[in-house]
Structures are given as structure tokens and as C-alpha cells.
Amino acid sequence: MTPALTLSAVDIGFAALLLAVNVALSVIYGLGVHRSLVVAAMRMIAQLALVGLVLHYVFASKSMWMTLAAATVMVAAAALEVRQRQSPRIRGFGVAGLGLGALSLIGAALTFYVVSVVIGPVATNTPGLITSFSPRHVLPILGMILGNSLTALSLALSTFADLARREHASIEAQLALGHSAREAFQPISRRAMRTAMLPVINAMAVIGLVTLPGMMTGQILAGADPTDAAKLQIMIMFAISAASGLGAFAAVRGGLHLLTDDRQRLRIDRIAA
């Protein structure tokens, strides 16, 4: 096994030069994104450096409470991001609540399953459920599940709200005939879920042929055996697809609740113009 790669600050500086490509494109073509590009890059550097430090500390502590605290921060950040990413936007704090509820449930359930059932026996070298608590396994898996669940949830919710607004006549035609809100929203619920699940299905179909996922690339660069990296990636893709499926499901169930009321009326007035 080759030794793990450790980059120096100078190496990172050379990598950052690549940002100049996008900045140049933005300037030459007048895209007007060079400013947000630089800000986003700065944020990325700060966030990843900070998270590296925090994780270093949490991993070393092996404390369950530290891990829970970190997980709570991650879920809260993901819930806020769900609220930020909506387009069109649903008024009020219902969406943040939906994100918080759905992502904590999905994150906890899938992370528990992956860590204790799938990798538990390997990590602890004992069959059955994992017994020792390992932040090194819990936090990265949780992060990945949250990230993908969040993407699917946002995409499904935005699609759902957009379709509810554009197809309000077809929804209300069903409501006026006495159909339930769930029946009336079913066509757009289906479309929203499909829209949110397709990217992962497409990604699974071409993975390895066209793309080597970032996680696998990182593992190989870090010196892992490519077959081991591939197996881990397969597990991760399954977890990701479950995470996005559940995120999409939560979005349409939550969206139905947010855009209807106790008299099963369509409330497009709750969508901000």
C-alpha cells in the first residue's frame, strides 16, 4: 500500500490556481459570477479546514456526546439549507421544520443501518451489530446521507411547489369533484419524486464508466486498494439512493401538508410570488 498523501499549504496553493480558470471565464464572457466564485471558494476552504479540525478532535475524543453534538449541528445546517434552496419558496418556517424532521429521521435511521448492520461487523471484527461507538464511521456516513437526502428533498419540494402553482387548475378540478387532496396531488407528487430520484439512478448507471466518484478517488489517492475502494463506493451508492428516495418521499408528503389546509384546500397563497 502506498503511503497516504499529505498536501502542504503550497500544494493547496497550486490547486487554488485552478480557480483562475473559472474566474477568467467569468471575466471574459461577462458572466458576473467571479465574485460569488471567489466567495464560494473562500467559504469552502474555511468550512473544510474547520471541519477537518473539528473531526480530528471528535475522532480523537471517541465521545458519544461530542459525536451527537456534531451530528446535531450537521442536521440543523442541512435543514436551514433546505429552506434556502427552495424555488419557489413556501412561506413560513414549515419548510425548515420539514427539513429538520425528515433529515434527522432519515439521517439517524440510515446511518444506524449502514454503521451497525453493514460495516459494523467489519469495523469491529465481530459478527452482528456494532457495539463500540465510532465517530470515525458515524459522522462521514451521516454527512453523506444528509447531503444526498437534502438535495433530493429540495429538488422534489421545489418541483412539487412549482407544479402545484402551474397546475393548480387540474388539482382544484379534482378537489371540486370531491377527491381527496392526496388524490388530487398524486400526479404532481409522482413527477416531483421522479425528478428527485432520477439523478441518483443516472449516476449509478454511469458510475465507474465515465466518472470515478470523489470518495473513491480520495480513497485511492489516500493509498487504499482500488477493489476495497470500489466495494465501499458500492455501499455508499446504495445508501445515497435510499437517502434520496426517502428525501423525495418526505418532500411530497411534507409539501402536501404545507400546501393544503384542514379543509383540503389548495393553498397556493402560501407560495411566495
Dihedrals φ, ψ of 185, to 5°?
A: -90, -5
180 binds another protein (CB under 8 A): yes
Q: Which of 47, 87, 126, 170 binds another protein (CB under 8 A)?
A: 170
Nearest Cα neighbor of 114 from 268, 265, 240 is: 240
User: Between helices 64-85 and 94-112, what is the axis angle to 10°?
Assistant: 140
Count residues contacting another protein (CB under 8 A)?
22
Q: Which residues pair with 90 in a beta bridge?
A: 271
Identity of the residue, 66 or 172, whose beta carbon is nearer to another protein in the bound complex: 172
> CB of residue 193 vs another protein: minimum separation in angstroms?
17
The letter for the amino acid at 239 is A
Site for another protein in 65-104 (CB under 8 A): none
| H or E element, residue 3 | none
Q: Which of 17, 21, 177, 273 binds another protein (CB under 8 A)?
A: 177
| Cα(57)–Cα(200) distance, integer angstroms | 33
First to last CA, the chain: 57
265 binds another protein (CB under 8 A): yes
30 binds another protein (CB under 8 A): no
Identity of the residue, 121 or 187, whose beta carbon is nearer to another protein in the bound complex: 187
> CB of residue 91 vs another protein: minimum separation in angstroms?
15
Considering only 21-29, 78-86, 109-117, 161-169, which stretch makes contact with another protein by CB under 8 A? 161-169
56 binds another protein (CB under 8 A): no
What cell was used for 111?
446511518
What cell was used for 166?
402551474
Residues in contact with another protein by the rule CB under 8 A: 167-181, 184, 187, 261, 263-266
